[in-house]
Amino acid sequence: MSKAKSAGPLTPAVFHILLALYRRERHGYDIMLQVKEDSRGQVKMGPGTLYGSLDRMIGAGLVVESNKQDPRRIYYKLTALGQAALRAESERLSSVAAMARRHLGAT
């Protein structure tokens, strides 16, 4: 867990991918659809961003491949480190938002 916290802020793409994988394993296109839904259409992730991010996330130990249902598709799932990174980033973003609200409310 300390590795997840010491990694610093996550990119928006990595954060959204981790969030999309939090509840269940997904294949690439399903991840893209979930990111679009979670962000209410504000984040549209293309294949280059998605698969480049997934490759780096696998290398960092945040995600692993998992052929769950369909042998024609590669499914991805979070590791314990990926879950810890998602929690740490969520807490960091919450703290930043709280600080911004305090500053904006003080004016």
Task: Please give the DSSP secondary-structure letter assigned to residue 45.
Answer: -
Rounded Cα distance between 78 and 99, Å, is: 30
- The list of the chain residues with pLDDT below 70 reads 1-7, 106-107
**What SS3 state is found at 102?**
helix
All structural domains of the chain: 9-105 (1.10.10.10)
51, burial (CB in 10 Å: exposed 0-12, middle 13-18, buried 19+): middle
What phi-psi label fits residue 25: left (phi over 0), alpha (psi between -120 and 50 degrees) or beta? beta
* Tokens found for residue 36: 């679009």
User: What is the predicted pLDDT for the residue at 44?
Assistant: 86
> H or E segment at 74?
none
User: What is the predicted pLDDT for the residue at 5?
Assistant: 44
